[in-house]
Amino acid sequence: MIMRILGEGQYEIAEAHLVRLNQLDTALQSAADTGDGAAFTAALSALLDAVRTLGTPLPDEAITPSDLVLPDADTSLAQVRELLSDDGLIPG
């Protein structure tokens, strides 16, 4: 699986690591659902750190479609909610 961290790059993730990454994603989703900005920031940081640690960085010159795109570490809960609003990224 190829994961992209916005503004950073892509990582190839072995299937063996998906269970752990899904656990971290569940914590991130829970924080987002409750609107807890501090917990969201901590969960996003943990998920991104795991992708960096468990994944193999792809070279910048490699053009590979990403299976999953993650926001960068500075993205707030409010920004994610805005991106995922009913209008989506492209209104209309």
Q: What is the pLDDT of residues 44-63, one digit of tens each?
A: 999 999 999 999 999 988 88
Q: Check residue 84 and give its pLDDT.
A: 62
Residue 7 falls within a domain, yes or no?
A: yes
Can you give the residue range of the structural domain that contains 72?
2-83
Average pLDDT in the 51-80 region?
A: 91
Classify residue 89: in a domain, yes or no. no
DSSP labels for the chain? -EEEETTTEEEE--GGGHHHHHHHHHHHHHHHHHT-HHHHHHHHHHHHHHHHHHSEEPPTT-----SEEE--TT--HHHHHHHTSTT-SS--
**What pLDDT, on the 0 to 100 scale, is given for residue 42?**
95
What integer is the mean pLDDT of 62-67? 88
Indicate whether 34 belongs to any domain.
Answer: yes
Res. 80 pLDDT band, cuts 50 70 90: confident
- Mean pLDDT of the region 12-24: 93
90 in a structural domain: no
Question: What average pLDDT does this structure show over 28-46?
Answer: 91
Domain count, the chain: 1
Residue 92 forms part of a structural domain: no
